[in-house]
Amino acid sequence: MDTLTCIRTRREIRDYLDKPIEEKHLQQILEAGRLAPSSKNSQPWHFVVIRNKDTLKKISDLTPTGQHIAQAPLAIAVLMDGAKLPEIDGSRAMQNMVLAAWSLGIGSCWVTNFYEDGVKELLEAPQRMKLVTVMPFGYPIEPRTNRRKIRKPMDEILHYETFAASSMLKS
């Protein structure tokens, strides 16, 4: 799948088949995260792969918006160590993993709003680290859909040179 098709067709997946992710696919996903750019090439990330069903359930319980974590075959926690802007570098790595996964037929769903200290304690991660997300991954129950992405038209969001000059063109 080419990059733009991957971006165009990717969607959030919260319902997964009860099927383990092949090790070779997991390694490709992790490699995509490892290869992400980072501020000053600091590569401040650590990835924790979680497959244990009890641990996935406990993380799900610590995450009000992530109940679907418990049903996934695995999740990847992204922890940042010493990053000045951990959410930015962590998101860059995560987006690479999400797109790589989708190109392999594996879905995911960004999860926020978790009890960070509880999740870090469960994963035995140092408290100094910033937990960016715990992202579930799995093969979608519904791999294809006729639903279209609803996005604003380009002319509503695009501006050339300055914001004001572009908006004046529309009036």
What is the predicted pLDDT for the residue at 146?
Answer: 67
pLDDT at 155: 86
| Per-residue model confidence (pLDDT) at position 168 | 47
What is the mean predicted confidence (pLDDT) over 105-117? 93
Of the listed ranges 6-15, 71-80, 86-95, 120-129, the least confidently predicted one is 6-15
**pLDDT given for residue 142 in this prediction:** 85
What's the mean pLDDT when you consider all of the chain? 92
* Per-residue pLDDT, 71: 96
Domain extent at residue 70: 3-170
Total number of domains constituting the chain: 1
User: Which CATH number is 102's domain given?
Assistant: 3.40.109.10
Distances (CA, A) of 166 to 152, 154, 160: 16, 12, 6
Provide the percentage of residues in the chain whose pLDDT is more than 70. 93
What pLDDT, in 10s, does the model give residues 33-92?
999 999 999 999 999 999 999 999 999 999 999 999 999 999 999 999 999 999 999 999
